[in-house]
């Protein structure tokens, strides 16, 4: 036996020993997690604590000395946490669209693959599933860095009793997926119209002669080309795994800074963290001069940093608007509580949608 062959065999033996230790530690972690679950249940505490999970991801990434890539730490421990929770029970999560959509990706990013992920046809259906307790949580899109707000999501919050439990930032990366082996074999490209538009420059440079076909979603495009020769789909990397496709081009979008923000909705508030933001909605008397200025004044007076404001027309009366705001801090923080209470006195209507941990930069 040659020396390199012997060394490879010895190293593989050591890897097997490491894997055995990892397995033992994973089971030990699952047992600890089960004990925590029992204690939480006895105190009626929330099982889903997004702030704690973010702390775990960031602590381990900061502690990592390599060579294991820090970018992979979140993915690995996301699945470890998901599997540990599933030992007790599977968390049910409704998301928008068929498998392999970016909403599906957001749900996996937040809850892991061991959660029970429930495909839903509309955003309204997600709200209905969570409200009726057929799903514990829902994942809904709220804004995109290129396309702006998702109006329907904001509208549904007005009458819904649900609360925001967490936020998820998903970087939108499009891959060209196919069963074929090379670009030269591709004659037809399928995707959602936005997917085709967002990859126009790449398509002009690399597949100028290919016919382009719009589909209902990027996921449906991937499913379609899985059994179609000389065809490719513009879809998420997740679609490649789910439909057995290979990437002939990765991150082919024209704008690399395309991000969608999703919200996790549930029936109970999120556990307080040290990185919280709060979302509210309110309406004002439109016939009062300077009414919006007066409404926002308490934030400045109490040193609360307003990070986002959007307006939507009400469905009840013409030319009246509901405002959606995000700001730093938890609704129970003294300064935030004072600002909210003063705002309430100046408004026709105010609703706190939830305080929840701000998504980390790695999301």
Cβ atoms of 147 and 260 within 8 Å: the answer is no
Q: Kindly tell me the burial class for residue 36, based on how many C-beta atoms sit within 10 Å of its own C-beta (0-12, 13-18, 19 or more).
A: middle
Tell me, yes or no, whether 180 and 163 share the same domain: no
| Alpha carbon 107 to chain centroid, angstroms | 6
Cβ atoms of 126 and 138 within 8 Å: the answer is yes
One DSSP character per residue, 149-207 reads: E-HHHHHHHHH---EEEEEEEEE---EEEESSSSGGG--EEEE-HHHHHHTHHHHHHH-
Tell me, yes or no, whether 62 and 158 share the same domain: yes
pLDDT of 233 strictly over 90 = yes
- pLDDT category at 362 given cuts 50, 70, 90 is very low
Helix (H, G, I), strand (E, B) or coil at 352: strand
- pLDDT category at 288 given cuts 50, 70, 90 is low
User: What's residue 136's pLDDT?
Assistant: 96
Tell me, yes or no, whether 55 and 158 share the same domain: yes
Tell me, yes or no, whether 79 and 106 share the same domain: yes
Task: Please state which of the ranges 79-93, 164-178, 186-200 shows the lowest mean pLDDT.
Answer: 79-93
Tell me, yes or no, whether 196 and 99 share the same domain: no
Report the number of distinct structural domains present in the chain: 3
- pLDDT category at 1 given cuts 50, 70, 90 is low
Whether residue 18 is contained in a domain is answered as no
Q: Tens digits of per-residue pLDDT, 289-335?
A: 788 889 999 999 999 999 999 998 877 665 578 999 999 999 999 99
Helix (H, G, I), strand (E, B) or coil at 19: helix
**Domain C-terminal end among 148, 171, 194:** 171
**Domain C-terminal end among 218, 249, 280:** 249
Tell me, yes or no, whether 141 and 190 share the same domain: no
CATH number assigned to the domain comprising residue 110: 3.40.190.10
pLDDT of 261 strictly over 60 = yes
pLDDT of 361 strictly over 60 = no
Task: Provide CB contacts within 8 A for 117, sequence distance 6+.
Answer: 93, 95, 104, 107, 108, 111
Q: What is the mean pLDDT of residues 26-39?
A: 90
Whether residue 278 is contained in a domain is answered as yes
Domain that holds residue 225: 175-249
Whether residue 57 is contained in a domain is answered as yes
Whether residue 327 is contained in a domain is answered as yes
pLDDT of 363 strictly over 70 = no
Tell me, yes or no, whether 179 and 161 share the same domain: no
Cβ atoms of 351 and 281 within 8 Å: the answer is yes
Tell me, yes or no, whether 198 and 215 share the same domain: yes
β-bridge mates for residue 261, sequence order? 143, 169
Residue among 340, 230, 266, 238 nearest 296 (CA) = 340
Whether residue 33 is contained in a domain is answered as no
Q: What is the mean pLDDT of residues 238-266?
A: 94
Backbone angles phi, psi at 334, to 5 degrees: -55, -45
Q: What angle do CA 300, 306, 307 make, to 5 degrees?
A: 155
Whether residue 255 is contained in a domain is answered as no
Cβ atoms of 191 and 234 within 8 Å: the answer is yes
Task: Please state which of the ranges 178-187, 231-240, 261-270, 286-295 shows the lowest mean pLDDT.
Answer: 286-295
Q: What is the mean pLDDT of residues 131-140?
A: 97
For residues 262-297, b (16+ Cβ closer than 10 Å) or e, as one string? bbbbbeebbbebebbbbbbbbbbeeeeeebbebbbe
| 248: enclosing H helix or E strand | strand 246-249
Cβ atoms of 314 and 322 within 8 Å: the answer is yes
**Domain C-terminal end among 171, 191, 225:** 171
Q: What is the pTM of this model?
A: 0.88
- pLDDT category at 203 given cuts 50, 70, 90 is very high
What's the rounded Cα separation, in Å, for the pair 231 and 249? 13
- pLDDT category at 287 given cuts 50, 70, 90 is low
Q: Kindly state the DSSP code that residue 145 receives in the 8-state scheme.
A: T
pLDDT of 114 strictly over 60 = yes
Whether residue 17 is contained in a domain is answered as no
Tell me, yes or no, whether 180 and 144 share the same domain: no
Catalytic residues: 260, 262
- 149 vs 174, higher pLDDT: 174
Tell me, yes or no, whether 221 and 307 share the same domain: no
Pairing status of strand 116-120 against strand 163-171 = unpaired
Tell me, yes or no, whether 113 and 157 share the same domain: yes
Whether residue 281 is contained in a domain is answered as yes
Residues of the chain with pLDDT > 90: what percent? 71
Tell me, yes or no, whether 95 and 155 share the same domain: yes
């Amino acid at each position: 036996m040659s020396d390199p062959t012997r060394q490879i065999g010895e190293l593989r033996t050591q890897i097997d020993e490491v894997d055995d230790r990892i397995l033992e530690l994973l089971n030990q972690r699952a047992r600890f997690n089960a004990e925590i679950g029992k204690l939480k249940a006895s105190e009626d505490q929330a099982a889903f604590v997004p702030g704690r999970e973010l702390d775990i991801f960031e602590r381990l990434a900061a502690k990592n000395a390599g060579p294991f890539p820090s970018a992979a730490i979140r993915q690995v421990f996301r699945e470890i946490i998901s599997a540990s929770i599933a030992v007790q029970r599977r968390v049910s999560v409704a998301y928008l669209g068929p498998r392999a959509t970016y909403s599906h990706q957001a749900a996996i990013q937040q809850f892991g693959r061991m959660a029970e992920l429930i495909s839903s046809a509309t955003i309204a259906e997600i709200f209905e599933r969570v409200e009726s307790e057929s799903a514990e949580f829902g994942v809904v899109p709220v804004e995109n860095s290129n396309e702006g707000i998702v109006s329907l999501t904001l509208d549904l919050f007005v009458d819904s009793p649900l609360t925001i439990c967490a936020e998820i930032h998903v970087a939108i990366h499009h891959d060209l997926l196919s069963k074929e082996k090379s670009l030269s074999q591709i004659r037809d490209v399928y995707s959602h119209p936005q997917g085709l538009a967002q990859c126009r420059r790449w398509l002009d440079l690399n597949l100028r002669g290919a016919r382009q076909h719009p589909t209902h979603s990027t996921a449906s495009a991937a499913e379609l080309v899985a059994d179609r020769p000389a065809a490719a789909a513009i879809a998420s990397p997740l679609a490649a795994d789910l439909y057995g496709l290979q990437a002939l081009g990765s991150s082919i979008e024209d704008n690399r800074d395309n991000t969608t923000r999703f919200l996790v909705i549930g029936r109970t508030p999120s556990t307080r963290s040290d990185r919280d933001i709060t979302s509210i909605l309110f309406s004002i008397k439109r016939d009062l001069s300077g009414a919006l200025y007066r409404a926002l004044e308490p934030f400045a007076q109490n040193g609360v940093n307003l990070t986002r404001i959007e307006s939507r027309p009400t469905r009840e009366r013409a030319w009246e608007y509901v405002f959606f705001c995000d700001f730093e801090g938890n609704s129970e923080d003294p300064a935030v509580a004072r600002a909210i209470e003063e705002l309430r006195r100046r408004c026709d209507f105010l609703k706190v949608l939830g305080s929840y941990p701000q998504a980390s930069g790695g999301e």
